[in-house]
Amino acid sequence: MSQQKKKIFSLGDIKYSWILSLSAIFFGITNYLDRMYSNDPLWVHAGYWISFAIAVLWAVLNYISHIRMNNMYKKQDDLQVYVNQLVMSEEDKLELRTYLEDYVQDLMKQGNTEADAMKEAINQFKVKEFLSLSKNTMFFNLHAHYYLIGWTFLSVIASILVWIFELTLFPYPLITLTIESIFIAYAIGLFGMFFLYKIIDAVIYRKFKELF
């Protein structure tokens, strides 16, 4: 399986799935009742809005939960880890590591402990010219969210299976139509959320590029 497919079918990457499930349940109940009442009472509309609001809450929490602070901006006390995050040749990395280790030795001669000396050496070199060499100079690492494509695919397949089940075995179309509506609506929502997340990522990336 290619790396891209692994990302798409990393279905466990979704967070707060119980909130999304709650939204789907509200939507399903509302949709079922909506099919029973032709005059669309007010509480049916309220049910749709509640399910939508819960879905929006999930989308926000899910996005935030995938944001991780870039390791370049975390406190570090390991020269090896710090240098390995810089995009340069192995020869240049070795030279830089040697230079930093010499600097650590000088600090230790001044009375610093080894741990404090390493932290100080790294902090001294966390300046703009070194950050520009980082593989990712964003303050935050942003998730790719390809798992949303995977969940979209599964939702579409599930809706097709329910439709086939309705045609062949199940004599209660009101129930199957409701279930189909849930899968189709949330497949569209998840697919749209993938692109919305990408737009948000692009905005955040642009802002941080301006700052750094």
Residue with tokens 């020869």: 91
Cβ neighbours of residue 114 under 8 Å, at least 6 residues apart?
Answer: 104, 108
Average pLDDT, the chain: 80
pLDDT tens by residue, 42-59:
888 899 999 999 999 999
Distance CA 83, CA 36 (A): 65
pLDDT for 146 beyond 60? yes
Residue 141 forms beta bridges with which residues? 68
Count the neighbouring beta carbons within 10 Å of the beta carbon of residue 188.
13
Residue 134 forms beta bridges with which residues? 86
- DSSP assignments along 144-203, one per residue: --THHHHHHHHHHHHHHHHHHHHHHT---HHHHHHHHHHHHHHHHHHHHHHHHHHHHHHH
pTM metric for this prediction: 0.67
pLDDT for 92 beyond 50? yes
User: From residue 1, how far is each of 69, 143, 197 by CA, in Å?
Assistant: 29, 20, 25
